[in-house]
Amino acid sequence: MGKKLLWPCSIALLAILAGCAIYGSLADSGSNEGEAGISISKAEQSLDELYFPKDKVIDVKVTIDPDKFQSMLDNPLAEESMEASVDYNGEVFDNVAIRTKGNLSLTSVARNNDSDRYSFKISFDEYVNQTLGGISKVNFNNGYSDNSYMREFLAYELAETLGLPTPKYSFVQLYVNDELKGLYLAIEQIGDAYLERHFGTSAGALYKANGGNGSELTWLETIDSYTGLDAKQGKADDDSLLHMLDVLNNGSDYESVLNVDHALGYFALNVAGGNFDSYHSDKKHNYYLFGNSGIYSILPWDFNMAFGGYGSGEILIDEPTTGALADRPLIAKLLAVDAYKERYHAMLKEAIQGYLSEENFAARVGEIQDLISDKVQADPTAFVTFEQFKQGVQQLISYNASNTAKITDQLDGSTPSAGDGSGMGGGMGGFGGGGMGRPGGNADGAGFQGGRPNVDANDNAGGFPDDMPNMNANGNAGGGQDGMPNMNANGNAGGFPDDMPNMNANGNTGGFQGGMPNMNANGNAGGFQGGMGRPDFGQGGGMGGFPGFGGFNSNAVVDQNALIQEAKNVGIALLCLIISCFVVIWYRRKR
């Protein structure tokens, strides 16, 4: 009898021990994941506190050979990297690379003899293996198109409240060889650190839209046709990209190739945040695509033209394109699905009733104004006067109130949310309020508004032609090129003819509605509150920061995994208990 009982008892014991061993292993794994989550949180907290704080302005001090820096200023369009050292909020990094950066923001400053306020990029790992808390590159944007200094900052905070992956960003006082260059916005370059924080991996395909062929994401059949999508070094997966584009344009199972929520959030961000220097417009740029295991996310990027900087005409939330809706399949296809449109509308509602509500937005703008006002007033290279800065802040608040009211009316059905498929129309806007001028901002804002002829879609770096009329409010040639016809304060001398055609991205001739807009001193020709600055097609970025209202928890994925693991552990423990019960019952019956 003893021998007969030996086997069942042994089996029961082994089953229990195996179950406990598995449970213990998984529990340890869950514990390690929890510790990893804490580690990630601490690492990001450290990153925010040391390098990208949102509640203070830190100093970034570059030391470089004066002759090399002068060479950079003399040849800014070369964008040549120079070796330097940088003291980043008290932490010193030697052997970094610094260069000028940007598109229109770069060429416009280069053409202005009165300013050398360039945007810069610092690469920490160009020459040696080092990073800024894991980040290899940081951009320093000069605020060329933004009288308020805070458009991009606010846009990235809004992105976070919508749960979108955002780069790190913060205000800094930038010095070069102990000379203050001014108040800049420091923005993390999208790279491995960003991808690992938001997606848990940097392995995958990464493409940046440059505004060229295929960046509208239509179906072009061969990968070679997509010259508008630049693969970042070592991160190309052309087969998966082409498959995604095929499904988007010719299929219907969008979730098999797209992170749909990221796409819908991107639409909501641009519409609620008034950002049409993006995929939504003729420029079809300022975004990245990241593909992980065949699922692509659209990544928000470059928001210096947000809150009306690209024009502030009519808006259609369900047709949010400046041209034909069908020419932007990512928007057209997804918003044609009722369930997706409902989710998109919910995101818009969340934005305008939360972060962008009149009270919340005005309060946040006021906080940032208090944070940076002294720095703006003392900025030795500012594009605008301090008065223009204060006007820009008020225009920012006014634009948001107007835009959110329009969205509210369309969400509740008071006004149409879509048209005939031709899009919202409009084009480049927001030129008024502080022209380029000289440092200190002598121009009073005579600039273009929503009716300006569109710059050619391929005009990525050259900016405006040399013979373009100068829109200086004082009627002189400040910031322009020699021989440029002057558009004086009344907009009636030496400028464009009243019936000048609109040169759109395709080179077609389609004149202005109602003739050429009057470019008067207040810049009110169909535009935004007198405008908020000049457009900038330069690079930008940013990340992290103000949690906003109902903001994005960067540890949400970690917490979800921990819950799943805990459920598995409980299930295994219950299974062990059930097996043990069956063994006991079987043993008792045998007896």
- pLDDT tens for 71-95 read 999 999 999 999 999 999 999 999 9
User: Which of 194, 204, 281 has the alpha carbon at shortest distance from 236?
Assistant: 204
Q: Tell me, what's the pLDDT at 547?
A: 36
CB 352 within 8 A of CB 272: yes
pLDDT in tens, 189-204: 999 999 999 999 999 9
Residue 363 has pLDDT above 70, yes or no: yes
Separation of alpha carbons 239 and 523, rounded Å: 48
Contacts of 71 (CB under 8 A, 6+ apart): 80, 82
Beta bridge partners of 446: none
Q: Tell me, what's the pLDDT at 32?
A: 41
Q: Tell me, what's the pLDDT at 426?
A: 55
Contacts of 433 (CB under 8 A, 6+ apart): 147, 384, 388, 391, 392, 395, 445, 447, 523, 530, 531, 532, 533
Q: How many CB atoms lie within 10 A of CB 146?
A: 31
Q: Tell me, what's the pLDDT at 40?
A: 52
Q: Tell me, what's the pLDDT at 393?
A: 98
Once rounded to an integer, what is the mean pLDDT over residues 376-383? 97
Between the alpha carbon of residue 151 and those of residues 60, 156, 225, 328, the distances in Å are 21, 9, 34, 25
Q: Tell me, what's the pLDDT at 17?
A: 45
CB 535 within 8 A of CB 276: no
Dihedral of CA 186/189/193/199: which sign?
positive
Mean predicted lDDT score pLDDT of the chain: 77
Angle, vertex CA 62, rays to CA 58 and CA 67, nearest 5: 155
pLDDT in tens, 481-500: 333 333 333 333 333 333 33
Q: Which of the two residues, 287 and 234, has the higher pLDDT score?
A: 287
Written as one string, the DSSP assignment of 415-474 is S-S--SSS-----S----SS-S-STT---------TTSPPPPTT-SSS-S-TTSPB--TT
DSSP 273: T
Separation of alpha carbons 44 and 67, rounded Å: 37
Pair type for strands 179-188 and 205-210: unpaired
Separation of alpha carbons 265 and 245, rounded Å: 19
Q: Tell me, what's the pLDDT at 113?
A: 83
CB 432 within 8 A of CB 523: yes
Once rounded to an integer, what is the mean pLDDT over residues 440-447? 37
As a whole number of angstroms, the longest Cα–Cα distance in the chain is 115
Q: Tell me, what's the pLDDT at 567?
A: 60
pLDDT in tens, 215-251: 999 999 999 999 999 999 778 899 999 999 999 999 9
Dihedral of CA 123/118/395/520: which sign?
negative
Q: Tell me, what's the pLDDT at 568?
A: 59
Q: Tell me, what's the pLDDT at 537?
A: 36
Query: Could you tell me what percent of the chain has a pLDDT over 70?
Result: 66
User: Which of 496, 525, 501 has the alpha carbon at shortest distance from 512?
Assistant: 501
Grade residue 566 by pLDDT with cuts at 50, 70 and 90: low
At residue 374, φ and ψ (nearest 5 deg) are -60, -35
Residue 294 has pLDDT above 70, yes or no: yes
Which of helix, strand or coil describes residue 173? strand
Q: Which of 98-107, 403-412, 416-425 has the highest mean pLDDT?
A: 403-412
pLDDT in tens, 508-542: 333 333 333 333 333 333 333 333 343 333 333 33
Contacts of 112 (CB under 8 A, 6+ apart): 436, 438, 479
Residue 124 has pLDDT above 70, yes or no: yes
Grade residue 310 by pLDDT with cuts at 50, 70 and 90: confident
Grade residue 63 by pLDDT with cuts at 50, 70 and 90: very high
How many residues does the structure list for the chain? Answer: 591
Strands (E), 293-362: 295-300
3-17, 128-142, 313-327, 522-536: least confidently modelled range: 522-536
104-118, 144-158, 419-433, 542-556: least confidently modelled range: 542-556
